[in-house]
Amino acid sequence: MTAPPKMICRDLWKLFGPDAEGFLSAHPQATTEQFREHHLIPAVRAANLEIREGENFVIMGLSGSGKS
């Protein structure tokens, strides 16, 4: 039997650009073209994570890419 997750993240987003949070709240199903039109860069789109005890988990990416 698989152990239950110690940490769960659902629908995780990281957008760069002006008023990214407001835009995503108003347009939850935005397309790539809509992001581009509003000068937004989606670094992470609707990611889901489950991390269990004892698992090794690494987030990799370039400096400034939204890991934190």
pLDDT in tens, 19-50: 999 999 999 899 999 999 999 999 889 999 99
Average pLDDT over residues 10-26: 92
Is 19 within the bounds of a domain?
A: yes
CA neighbor of 7 nearest in space, from 50, 67, 47, 54: 50
Domain boundaries, position 39: 5-52
User: Is 68 inside a domain boundary?
Assistant: no
Could you identify the residue written with the tokens 């000068």? 39
Q: Does some domain include residue 41?
A: yes
Q: What is the pLDDT of residue 1?
A: 62
Domain count, the chain: 1
Domain assignment present for residue 57? The answer is no
Assess if residue 11 is contained within a domain: yes
Q: What pTM does this model have? A: 0.68
